Amino acid sequence: MIAIIDYGMGNLRSVQKGFEHVGHEAVVTREPAVMERASHVVLPGVGAFGDCMANVTRFGLVEPIHRAIQSGKPFLGICVGFQLLFTESEEFGCHKGLGIFPGTVKAIPLSDDVASSYKIPHMGWNTIHIEKPAPPLQNIDSESYVYFVHSYYVEPADQELPSTHTEYGVSFASSIWKDNIFATQFHPEKSQTVGLQVLKNFGEWQ
Amino acid sequence: MLTKRIIPCLDVKDGRVVKGVSFVDLRDAGDPVHVAQIYDREGADELCFLDITASHEQRDTMLDVVVRTAEQVFMPLTVGGGIRTLEDIRRLLEAGADKVSINTAAVQEPEFVKAAANRFGSQCIVVAIDAKRAAGGEDDVHGWQVFTHGGRNTTGLDAVRWAQRMMDCGAGEILLTSMDQDGTQDGYDLPLTAAISDAVTIPVIASGGAGTLHHLYEAFAQGKADAVLAASIFHFQTYSIGQAKSFLAEQGIPMRPGTVPVSTA
């Protein structure tokens, strides 16, 4: 059973329905005991980094998230849930993250020419260039299209961490993979067949 | 490369699709969920539901539509129409909408947009602007004014400045409808779209007037839109999403490939 962590930020129904659509049982929970029993854990998230981290803390989820990661069970971070894994974010002042990986969350630089195509947020379908084929990316072609909506990107200190890169003004890590942790800046639950394949693969990941 | 988006929009009243969708191969052309599934299969980039239900009491039917759609369709969904409170937004997002589109409530209370963006994040707050060529408003600068109530009520607000103000309030996207062009199938208002797209750093969705695939092309090439919204040309199967995408890609507009229609009858 997959536990989707509910800390009061964002649309968790889509993530849950996405897993169910590809045959994986998934529950939305903020109970540490349920996260402990789960075979897989998902940290989603939309909105501002600081608000997300504040809610994770308020609901007493910092320790349970660390425990889930240390237990070695497959762990998926999505969007702000991906960003939270890093040291800190520059969004609306400096905010500390969970610090699983060293790295900073930075604003996508705005191009000087406002008439150019670089609008912020980076919103829509963009390609992922696969550098390191993480298990959840099985059967997914490099340069597949996935759905993004974000204004900040992750700059990991460890250059080996990114699993895919995407270009938008900067070349940024659109997903990372290390051991049991896979995390995406894009939204698999909104990325139609490609995204559902990621969710399917993640649920099958041991 | 980030691609330009094609967004079919459905008008939904009391939970049913209005403004005639004529998919012959559809089991129930009045069910928004079934129509959404067709567009999903054809490779639409997002979906938009506009709730035109008259009475507030009936609005729970829209929540049910959103819930059922989110169970079947795994692509971004924007819902607009009659959104007035933070609670309205919370319920739609919880039901499975990814973004909400705010129109009249933004004009009546700009601070509402700020509160919504602070609470839910800019990424899910779309501000819909209904603009019409009209000179002489109190802060008219560019020649288009903001209207509400389907173009009946003027606000005196300059549409370009209004778009900038909404961006400053935290809107994540502008859904721009030309009331002059809407329903004409004569093409988008390109100068309006370009003026607003140039004036803001957030994405702009062009709406109102699409009748041919060339109109979609113009909205991107001359209107500098990031996305196009269209209803009739897709609903009546004049063109499929896949055909639109192939055409636009041939013209050099970055497009995520669509799929061929599931069945053509």
CATH code for the domain in which residue A109 is found: 3.40.50.880
DSSP H stretches of helix in chain B: 32-42, 60-72, 86-95, 104-108, 110-120, 159-168, 190-199, 213-221, 232-235, 241-250
CB B25 within 8 A of CB B42: no
Taking 90 as the threshold, does the pLDDT of residue B28 lie above it? no
Residue A187 is among the residues annotated as catalytic for this protein: yes
> What's the pLDDT tens digit per position in B94-138?
899 999 999 999 999 999 999 999 888 899 999 999 999 986 655
φ, ψ dihedrals at A31, nearest 5°: -90, 120
Considering A24, A40, A52, A79, which one is annotated as catalytic? A79
In this structure, what token pair is assigned to residue B37?
A: 């599934």
> What's the pLDDT tens digit per position in B168-220?
999 999 999 999 999 889 999 999 999 999 999 999 999 999 999 999 999 99
* Burial (CB count within 10 angstroms: exposed 0-12, middle 13-18, buried 19+), residue B257: exposed
> What's the pLDDT tens digit per position in A53-63?
999 999 999 99
Q: Best interface-test mutation with A: which of B39, B66, B74 has the largest number of A CBs within 10 A?
A: B74
Q: Please tell me the predicted confidence (pLDDT) of residue A147.
A: 98
Q: Please tell me the predicted confidence (pLDDT) of residue B226.
A: 97
Compute the average pLDDT of residues A150-173.
Answer: 96
* Burial (CB count within 10 angstroms: exposed 0-12, middle 13-18, buried 19+), residue B263: exposed
Average pLDDT across chain A, whole number: 94
Lowest-pLDDT choice from A112-126, A129-143, B152-166: A112-126
Q: Best interface-test mutation with A: which of B1, B2, B91, B173 has the largest number of A CBs within 10 A?
A: B2
Q: Please tell me the predicted confidence (pLDDT) of residue A8.
A: 81
Taking 50 as the threshold, does the pLDDT of residue B261 lie above it? no
Specify the higher pLDDT residue, A141 or B261: A141
**Per-residue confidence band for A197, with pLDDT thresholds at 50, 70 and 90:** very high
**Closest chain A residue to B173 measured between Cα atoms?**
A121
CA atoms within a 13 Å half-sphere pointing along the CA-CB vector of B227: 29
Compute the average pLDDT of residues B23-30.
Answer: 61
Q: Please tell me the predicted confidence (pLDDT) of residue B26.
A: 55
Residue B158 is among the residues annotated as catalytic for this protein: no
Taking 60 as the threshold, does the pLDDT of residue B265 lie above it? no
> What's the pLDDT tens digit per position in B236-250?
778 999 999 999 999
Q: Please tell me the predicted confidence (pLDDT) of residue B264.
A: 39
Compute the average pLDDT of residues B163-170.
Answer: 97
Taking 90 as the threshold, does the pLDDT of residue B53 lie above it? no
Give the structural domain span for A115.
Answer: 2-204
Q: How far apart are CA B142 and CA A103, in angstroms?
A: 45
Lowest-pLDDT choice from A8-12, A31-35, B177-181, B244-248: A8-12
Taking 80 as the threshold, does the pLDDT of residue A113 lie above it? no
**How many contacts, defined by CB atoms under 8 Å, are there between A and B?**
104
3-state helix/strand/coil string of chain A: CEEEECCCCCCHHHHHHHHHHCCCCEEEECCHHHHHHCCEEEECCCCCHHHHHHHHHHCCCHHHHHHHHHCCCCEEEECHHHHCCEEEECCCCCEECCCCEEEEEEECCCCCCCCCCCCCCEEEEEEEEECCCCHHHCCCCCCEEEEEEECEEEEECCCCCEEEEEEECEEEEEEEEECCEEEECCCHHHCHHHHHHHHHHHHHCC
Taking 90 as the threshold, does the pLDDT of residue A115 lie above it? no
Put simply, whether B201 touches A (Cβ < 8 Å) is yes
With an 8 Å Cβ cutoff, are A151 and B226 in contact?
A: no
Domain count, chain A: 1
Taking 80 as the threshold, does the pLDDT of residue B150 lie above it? no
Q: Which residues of B touch A121 (CB under 8 A)?
A: 122-123, 172-173, 202-203
> What's the pLDDT tens digit per position in A68-99?
999 999 999 999 999 999 999 998 889 999 99
